[in-house]
Amino acid sequence: MATTVRSFAKINLGLAIGARRPDGFHGLETIYQTVAAHDLIRVVCGATGHAPITIRCDHPAVPCDATNTCYRVAERMLQLWQLDTTVEITIDKRLPVQGGMGAGSANAVATLFALERELGRELAPAEQLRIAAEVGSDLPLFLLGGTVLGAGRGEQVYPLPDLPTLPCVLATPSVAVSTPQAFQDWDALAASADSVAASGLTSAAPLGTLSKFSRSAFSWLSHLEATGVPAGRSGDRAETLLLDLVRAGIENDFERVVFPQYPELHEVKRELQRAGAKLALLSGSGSSLFGLFDEQARAGQAVEQISATGVRAIASTTLTRRAYQEQRFV
């Protein structure tokens, strides 16, 4: 027997960074959104092998040792259940590994679902959440899927009313942005803005704060909830919803430290906007960017335009929670 799970990616429909906490992480708020683009994770248990957990992946940038997020999740599950079966995990990489779309985190949660099914056992929801949050801030959102509010260091997740299925373009310039470095750069930016403000010489523009993000996000969400999104009738509602999202002023704070260092990423955002994206943003700390479109045809044209500049781009769609859960197992 083998179990194969689609490991769907995510984008961030905005992200606000707060202060560094005593544990070294930063408080943040974000709206996660799962998308249909995915890797495949295949899990087989009980095959004869030397190591209890084996990772196979032919992508050179994916570690196949105990540092792999899939390994770390499987290890914790075997430990909890006190099982000494062998587990073989094969990662079929289709998503870019440069980051921003949570692919490594999604792979780990897909491993959790696959291993539960392979072993015919289920973790209690609290255990799923504990294991996911221990392995990384971006894992718990993949336990829910759909449109998800993330708080704390990103690991506290709350299901939100789902966005309808919208065409989207995922563009990944081949630049590796370090997430810890981007957080450090944010700290430096925040510190310099504070010192300018303290000097009293000028009223420094305040950095994007969690409270501003909360206000924007909740104003948009209350609208989303109030108007509702009838299933299967997303067409003409898409544009209004996207305009509302832009009007609410939802941004990604990482753009303020990542774009000055990698102007080519800013250029891809402009390219998405020129191609007609209603909302174009950096996803997470990058290097992936996404554009949301009101029409599939426009998204297709955008892929062509961006690919012509030498940047990898694919057309996908946002994925509702229900679709995420129903389409998980292959």
Q: 38, 6 in Cβ contact below 8 A? A: yes
Paired tokens of 235: 């067409």
The contact pattern for ligand C5P, residues 66-85, with x = CB under 6 A and - = no contact, is --------------------
* Residue 46 to residues 8, 87, 107, 164, Cα–Cα distance (Å): 26, 6, 21, 41
| Minimum CB distance to ligand C5P, residue 181 (Å) | 9
CA 309 to mean position of chain CA atoms: 25
257 near ligand C5P, judged by CB under 6 A: no
Contact between 74 and 87 under an 8 Å Cβ cutoff? The reply is yes
In the complex, the smallest distance separating the C-beta of residue 175 from ligand C5P, rounded to whole angstroms, is 17
Q: Which amino acid type is present at position 68?
A: N
Q: CA distances (Å), 19 to each of 36, 150, 304, 318, in order?
A: 33, 16, 40, 30
Helix (H) or strand (E) holding 19: strand 3-20
Task: Give the count of residues interacting with ligand C5P (CB under 6 A).
Answer: 11
Radius of gyration of the chain (CA): 20
Q: How far is the CB of 311 from ligand C5P (least distance, A)?
A: 24
Residue pair 140/129 in contact by the 8 Å Cβ criterion: yes
Please give the residues from 82 up to 111 whose contact with ligand C5P meets the rule CB under 6 A: none
How many CA atoms are closer than 13 Å to the CA of 82, on its beta-carbon side?
0
Q: What is the dihedral of CA 154, 158, 164, 170, to 10 degrees?
A: 10
Residue 153 found at the interface with ligand C5P (CB under 6 A): yes
User: Minimum distance from CB of 65 to ligand C5P (Å)?
Assistant: 16
Considering only residues 25, 59, 261, 312, which one is a binding residue for ligand C5P as defined by CB under 6 A? 25
Q: Would you say 167 or 284 has its CB closer to ligand C5P? A: 284
Question: Can 10 be counted among the known catalytic residues?
Answer: yes
Give me the DSSP letters along 39-51.
EEEEEEES---SS
Told to check if 26 binds ligand C5P by CB under 6 A, we report: yes
Residue placing its CB nearer to ligand C5P in the complex, 169 or 190: 190
Could you say which of 39, 138, 162, 185 is catalytic? 138
Indicate the residue type of 181. Q
| Cβ 179 to ligand C5P shortest distance, Å | 4
CB of 37 to ligand C5P, least distance (A): 20
State yes or no: residue 137 binds ligand C5P (CB under 6 A): yes
Binder of ligand C5P out of 136, 145, 164, 291 (CB under 6 A):
136
Binding mask 175-214 for ligand C5P (x = CB under 6 A): ----xx--x-------------------------------
Is 93 known to be catalytic? no
Find, among 142, 38, 136, 144, the residue nearest to 91 by Cα: 38
Residues in touch with ligand C5P (CB under 6 A): 25-26, 28, 136-138, 153-154, 179-180, 183
List residues with catalytic annotation: 10, 138
